Amino acid sequence: MINPESLSNVKLKKATGEKDRSAPNYQLALQGEVTQEKEAERRDYLFSTGLDRWYSSLKDKTFKTEFLSIRPDEARTIIQHWERFFKERTSNDPEPTPETGLSIPIELSDMAQRIESVINKLSPNGKGVFVKLSTRSPKDSHFAFMKAKRHYTSQLATIRAEGSKGPSLNDKLILLQESVINSLNVKTGEEAVQLLASSTRVGEDLQYALDTGESSGPIDPLQLSETCSLVLREWVDIPLWAEFRGFVWGRELTSIGQYNHPVVFPQLQSLVPLIQSDLETFYDSIKAQIPIDRYIIDFAWTPEQVYLVEINPFDGEIVFPASTGLWDWEKDKEQMMKGPLELRIRTIEQDPLLLRNTTDPMWRAVLDQ
């Protein structure tokens, strides 16, 4: 796409042990008095970045996608299922596994059938699809994590059986991240509903969509579909190291970081100038078609092309629900607002104790094996 020799002036900043910004900053979003006007502004901004709002104008820049409506009764059933089996779980409850499955309420059978029809259309070769809401994905799905844990354990046992030196914590975390991503590949409608019904992110977004629509009376299916819909996307294999998160302020791309930021990817180190230039060129080609001024934008990079993955709210005041990774809003605010553009990657493996302690507790238990 671009001659690497012409990129000698592109800035690269090494990241070592910066403050971890992997957790969503909901606290910042909730600061101050929440007036009805502010709540409406927050709500409109949150849903304005949904995939359904920009896909039609940028479909040739992203993955092939199909949309399905969610009925209000289906949304309520998913929320109830999530609350009953995951928010209110006790330590004595048995964990669902890929073998036993996660029972799906009969009320969601029609949804599973609708999803399966779209899967057959998007993936006639059986490769599978990625399922999400127009707002967020079920990447925190408990059921998916059980699948990922099983795959990770099997892969780790194979590595150890080969007799080579045991993997570092950095390498183990990469292996677990890959297992989690692969666990989100679904090939049936039932699998898709299992992911959706076991995700806090999905439950929260559906609850918010229902609350939004029902603020002035009972919500109808059209109202809900205008706020939040079901999304199925073709499955494209993208290496973990080739995913990036960018920050846009005033319609300008000001900062970029590796998406999977806790780890070091050896493959990435020599490619940064080329990737930064490719992402900047790609962004310049699409920014006029994105209807908001400030947002987080996720990219997938390949030598042949760049993909727009998704857009998330970002303004530091009203809605601020996504990870900033190697960028710290409190420390880097001015550059994240004004530039100059910089792509940050991690070049030195973190201290194992620090890396372990800043990892999600559920992941930590698996990594300790």
Q: For 263-301, write each residue's pLDDT tens digit.
A: 999 999 999 999 999 999 999 999 999 988 999 999 999
The kind and range of the H/E element at 36 are: helix 36-48
Query: DSSP string spanning 87-113?
Result: IT--TTSPPP-TTT-----GGGHHHHH
Cβ neighbours of 240 (radius 10 Å): 18
CA distance 188 to 117: 9
Residue 52 C-beta-side C-alpha neighbours within 13 Å: 20
Q: pLDDT tens digit string along 99-140?
A: 444 677 899 999 999 999 999 999 999 999 999 999 899 999
Domain layout of the chain by residue ranges: 4-32+238-357, 36-236
The β-bridge partners of 66 are 232
- pLDDT tens digits, one per residue of 305-359: 999 999 988 876 644 556 788 999 889 999 999 999 999 999 999 999 999 999 9
Instruction: Tell how strand 252-258 and strand 343-346 pair up.
Output: parallel
Q: Which residue has the higher pLDDT, 164 or 283?
A: 283
Could you give the CA distance from residue 313 to residue 321 in angstroms, rounded to a whole number? 7
Q: What is the mean pLDDT of residues 225-249?
A: 93
Q: Which residues lie below 8 Å from residue 30, measured CB to CB, with a gap of 6+?
A: none
**Residue 98 confidence (pLDDT) above 50:** no
